[in-house]
Structure 1
Amino acid sequence: MRLDKYLKVSRLIKRRTLAKEVAGQGRITVNGQPAKASTVLSVGDELVIKFGQKVVTLEVTSLKEAVKKDEADNLYKVISEEKVD
């Protein structure tokens, strides 16, 4: 599954176009490598996303084309969440 679509389906980022922008700015890495919106994800990949004042590290636990809102957080496991000054 493409990175931008995964971020939207998992509801980590609200819109796919916004996910593309964030990836295009180099604020997302997959397994330590800078990621583009078209990067293909697999189960077990580690994502590091820089959101403004925090950095979130996640592990991809499931890939699904569509999920209900209350099941979206089952697609990933938060490894760490750090505030950045």
Structure 2
Amino acid sequence: MDRIRLDKWLWAARFYKTRSLAVQEIGKGRVLVNEQPAKPARELAVGELVTVRKDGPPIHVRVRALSAVRGPAAVARGLYEETPESVAARERAAELRRLAPEPALDIAAGRPTKRDRRRIDMLRNS
């Protein structure tokens, strides 16, 4: 096997849970092959660069092997190799998320009580 459909490979490499999800994401332009938009039926070969945009920074992977069957996660990781720039970008994003302040800490008192709400309404109407 020297070529395989892009949607099948993304499914087999466990980027998406189903092939139909892979097709939807490819259709939305969230998957690029060699920095160009692709269609689900595009033939993918070993050595090509695939960019997958999910939540967070895009993931850039180089195709190392082809498979039309979905296997265990350990086998799926062998189908691709993530670029060093992509790994660094994901680690940076994870570190920024870790250092970011907790949004809930901005709300010191929580939601207004019924009494607080009445006071706010009185202040607004005055």
Work out whether the TM-score is over 0.5. yes
Gaps of 5+ in 1: none
Structure 2 counterpart SS, 1:51? coil
Which structure has greater strand proportion?
Answer: 1
Gaps of 5+ in 2: 94-126
Structure 2 match to 1:22: 25
Structure 2 match to 1:78: 82
Contact 2:11 2:70 in 1 (8 A): no
Q: Which runs of 4+ in 1 moved over 6 A?
A: none
Which residue of 52, 67, 84 corresponds with 1:49? Answer: 52
Q: TM-score, normalised by structure 1?
A: 0.89
Shift of 1:78: 0.6
**Cα RMSD, aligned residues only:** 1.5
Which structure has greater helix proportion?
Answer: 2
Q: Aligned letter for 2:82?
A: V
Q: Which has the higher contact order (CA 8 A, sep 6+)?
A: 1
Task: Decide which structure has the larger Cα Rg and report it.
Answer: 2
Aligned length: 84
Identical amino acids, percent of aligned pairs = 33
Q: TM-score, normalised by structure 2?
A: 0.62
